[in-house]
Chain A
Amino acid sequence: SSEVTQDPAVSVALGQTVRIICQGDRLRRHHANWYQQKPGQAPVVVMYGDSNRPSGIPDRFSGSSSGDTASLTITGAQAEDEADYYCNFRESNGNDFVFGPGTKVTVL
């Protein structure tokens, strides 16, 4: 299986910008999806296919990918953005799926 890494935790001042990174060799060939999970709640997709934002997700969320790194950026972070964020992608065998270890985002 692939090794995928994320920073365990990042913090951002209210209204500022934060970039969350997901790194893994498989990301060179597969798109990344991103999920937001707040305490006690199920995950919610906030980005798919590297840079596609689902309906209902604020446009302060954006995504990109280059080489072995996928990024989720929150521009103008709000208090409600405080959550765990997980990247996810398809394994090279096409049938398995992987989640990154998650990044805890704290909004100061």
Chain B
Amino acid sequence: DVKVTQSSRYLVKRTGEKVFLECVQDMDHENMFWYRQDPGLGLRLIYFSYDVKMKEKGDIPEGYSVSREKKERFSLILESASTNQTSMYLCASERGGTTDTQYFGPGTRLTVL
């Protein structure tokens, strides 16, 4: 069974703080993704990575950066958190290739005060 874990289920930060969200997968998957989910807007892709040290912007990358130093770990960074980044953040991993089954973590609910 694929397991995707995220460092926190709930996080509260203050405006201007630097925030790190960590995601780890245990299935040697090539591809990893960060989404945010907001009521009425569905899931929106922030960044994804298809290899170590590789990253590509998703649909809403502004205000975020990512890091993938090791294959199993994909970090989302909020350089200076703002209140409009209060959201549910979901990480996913995927083997890549001809089947695109993404496996999601449980999510991190981030509140920025």
The finding on whether chains A and B are genuine partners in a shared complex, rather than unrelated, reads no
Question: Which residues of A approach B to under 8 Å, CB–CB?
Answer: none
